[in-house]
Amino acid sequence: MKILIVEDSRSNLMLLTEYIRRLGATVLPAESGAAAVASFDRERPDLVLLDVVLPDIDGFAVARRIRASEKGGDWTPIIFLSSLGKDKDIEQGIMAGGDDYLLKPVSEVVLGAKVRAMGRLIEMRDSLVKLASELDKANQDLQRLSASDGLTGIANRRYFDDCLTREWRRARRSGSELALVMCDVDHFKKFNDTYGHQAGDECLRRVAGAIATSLERGSDVAARYGGEEFVVLLPETPLGGALIVAEKIRRAVQTLNIPHSASSHSRVTLSIGLAATVPERDNAANSLIAAADQALYEAKNTGRNRVVRFRGQKTEDRGQI
């Protein structure tokens, strides 16, 4: 334990230093308020023994400066040592940030008991800080797990729904476009029937990875929508920009070269539908999903392994670029 002793009397400082060293602690001496603040900032002691009457700034001002320099979650016990023993002096010391107030001359026995008591409080504080950190990490892990798809590791449907609602409201406020890309693994049931469900799971994991790595912005969200269907939410993205992303995704999955003998393309491919809109108050986020889903339906009905974009009441087949 490091203990900062702030005392302008050399004789008192030497006596207190001897008391503290007998307790097995390290002494950091200071003979003025300014020296005390500087030592505290530099050394960050575990405990401060603070005289009230000092040659420059008084102990109350020192305590306030110490408290002001502590960051969130920090706490260093401060014990005032003073010959000023009136009730208002003690009250002022506690109000300034002190945790205890001892009258001079200080008994070695009493000081030792106070230091040991503060030591136990420090241990309790450290334990609580550690526990809080562990709980925070556990909560972060829980949030991450609750937002992730258990099979593929990317975001799950629930997280996507929350993101869509949030981004829809944000786009409506800002008047920006919001794009949605819907992807479906072509002939996935046949893939499972041919290669088995374990191979199917591995296929979905690899497809999800290809989709996720095709996104370059932190604001873009890739999620497993359900079964072999995936979605990508693209904030502040017009239809043309979404088309570029969709083609990049399609090519990335095709480049995986996962064999698929039951497909006319002989490997795993994606059918992709996309839509973009500027949200308005008289339409809901589900309208964007419906538009992208309609485009996806068209992609699957016109040969698969292609991107189709929704444009008003009709779709536009972009084919294989």
Let me know whether 182 and 297 are in one domain: yes
Q: Is residue 195 in a domain?
A: yes
- Structural domain span for residue 279: 157-317
Retrieve residue 226's tokens.
Answer: 């359900």
Number of domains within the chain: 2
User: Do residues 53 and 30 touch, judged by C-beta distance below 8 A?
Assistant: no
For the segment 37-81, what is each residue's pLDDT rounded down to a tens digit?
A: 999 999 999 999 999 999 999 999 999 999 999 887 788 999 999
Residue type, 191: F
Please give the Cα distance from 42 to 52 (Å, whole number): 21
Q: Is residue 110 in a domain?
A: yes
Let me know whether 187 and 275 are in one domain: yes
Let me know whether 161 and 301 are in one domain: yes
Let me know whether 250 and 186 are in one domain: yes
pLDDT by 10-residue block (mean), the chain, 321 residues: 92 92 93 94 93 92 93 86 89 92 90 90 83 82 79 94 94 95 97 96 97 94 95 96 96 96 94 95 88 96 95 57 40
Let me know whether 107 and 236 are in one domain: no
Q: What is the CATH number of the domain that holds 164?
A: 3.30.70.270
Query: What pLDDT, on a 0 to 100 scale, did the predictor assign at position 318?
Result: 53
Residue type, 67: R
Please give the Cα distance from 274 to 288 (Å, whole number): 9
Q: What is the CATH number of the domain that holds 70?
A: 3.40.50.2300
The SS3 assignment for 183 reads strand
pTM over 0.75: no
Let me know whether 12 and 127 are in one domain: yes
Dihedrals phi, psi of 180, to nearest 5 degrees: -135, 130
134: Cα within 13 Å, side-chain hemisphere: 6
Let me know whether 206 and 275 are in one domain: yes
Let me know whether 14 and 77 are in one domain: yes
Retrieve residue 279's tokens.
Answer: 């949200």
User: Do residues 116 and 22 touch, judged by C-beta distance below 8 A?
Assistant: no
User: Do residues 93 and 52 touch, judged by C-beta distance below 8 A?
Assistant: yes
Q: What is the largest CA-CA distance in the chain?
A: 95
For the segment 122-159, what is each residue's pLDDT rounded down to a tens digit?
A: 888 888 878 888 888 888 777 766 789 999 999 999 99
Query: What pLDDT, on a 0 to 100 scale, did the predictor assign at position 122?
Result: 83
Let me know whether 170 and 294 are in one domain: yes
